[in-house]
């Protein structure tokens, strides 16, 4: 991947978006880019956090796994997003694992170098704080949903945010497999399938493969809020 391309992606990211060209070039010298195959483990829970990645292209899942083989997806990350940045600052091991879902282009920044640079670049530190802040907010609502809401509400909420991200478009393409979505929502593929079915018969949605059309956005929003269907 060419330098210019990398810079372009970094410039468009939340983390480095506010930086001037000169600063961006500096950042570029701090790390190195590399390619990763589909299914590659970027890091595993418990390992020391020696640095973090910025995802230049492709998709990565961050997940927790139990030794009985169950797993919970915490995030699905796309281009421009940092991966594994949080644990660095606490001097703690990675609290979860990360794996590529497709071939990816990655930019790796080593811990020491980056933290050192942070001291000279207050705007970068603030950007980093903003990123962690947003992560915390996402987790906050995830916890609320898992503890207090049932699967239909969680699904409805997810579909709502997906619709937001697509600029209000009512016809959506799921950016992940249904099994992965189930894991993200903290349920099983079977249950997800059934509830999608119920939402279709109740007239909220139309589903065709991994394309789905939202017929009743208000109704869906209500399910997300109140939890109950029909």
Within 13 Å, how many C-alpha atoms sit on residue 93's CB side?
8
218 interacts with a second copy by CB under 8 A: no
Q: Cα-flanking dihedrals φ and ψ of residue 164, to 5°? A: -55, -50
Q: What is d(CA 33, CA 105) in angstroms, rounded to the nearest whole number?
A: 7
Tokens of 35: 């390619």
15, 54 Cβ separation under 8 angstroms: yes
Picked from DNA, a second copy, none, the partner binding residue 194 (CB below 5 to 8 A depending on kind) is DNA
Among 139, 164, 173, 210, which residue sits at the site for a second copy (rule: CB under 8 A)? Answer: 139
191 interacts with DNA by CB under 7 A: yes
**Options 32-40, 127-135, 159-167, 171-179: segment touching DNA (CB under 7 A):** 171-179
Q: What is d(CA 51, CA 65) in angstroms, rounded to the nearest whole number?
A: 22
**Options 1-9, 61-69, 106-114, 208-216: segment touching a second copy (CB under 8 A):** 61-69
Closest CA to 151 of 177, 176, 188, 202: 188
Shortest CB 208 distance to a second copy, Å? 28
Among 8, 47, 225, 230, which residue sits at the site for a second copy (rule: CB under 8 A)? Answer: 225
78 interacts with DNA by CB under 7 A: no
Which residues of the shown chain bind DNA in the complex (CB under 7 A)?
A: 70, 150-152, 177-179, 186-197, 207, 209-210
């Amino acid at each position: 991947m060419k330098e210019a391309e990398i810079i372009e992606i970094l410039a468009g990211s939340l983390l480095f978006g506010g930086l001037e060209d000169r600063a961006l070039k500096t950042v570029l010298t701090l790390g190195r880019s590399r390619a990763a195959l589909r299914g590659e483990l970027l890091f595993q829970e418990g390992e020391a956090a020696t640095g973090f990645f910025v995802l230049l292209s492709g998709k990565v899942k961050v997940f927790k796994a139990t030794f009985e083989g169950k797993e919970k997806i915490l995030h699905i990350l796309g281009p421009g997003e940092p991966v594994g940045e949080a644990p660095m600052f606490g001097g703690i091991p990675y609290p979860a694992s990360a794996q590529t879902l497709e071939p990816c282009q990655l930019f790796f920044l080593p811990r020491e170098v980056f933290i050192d640079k942070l001291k000279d670049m207050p705007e970068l530190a603030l950007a980093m704080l903003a990123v962690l802040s947003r992560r915390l907010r996402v987790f906050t609502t995830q916890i609320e949903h898992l503890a207090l809401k049932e699967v239909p509400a969680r699904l409805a909420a997810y579909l709502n945010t997906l619709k937001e991200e697509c600029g209000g478009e009512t016809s959506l393409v799921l950016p992940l497999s249904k099994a992965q979505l189930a894991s993200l929502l903290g349920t099983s593929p079977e249950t997800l399938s059934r509830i999608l079915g119920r939402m279709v018969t109740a007239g909220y949605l139309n589903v065709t493969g991994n394309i789905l059309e939202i017929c009743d956005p208000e109704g869906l929003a209500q399910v997300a809020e109140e939890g109950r269907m029909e």
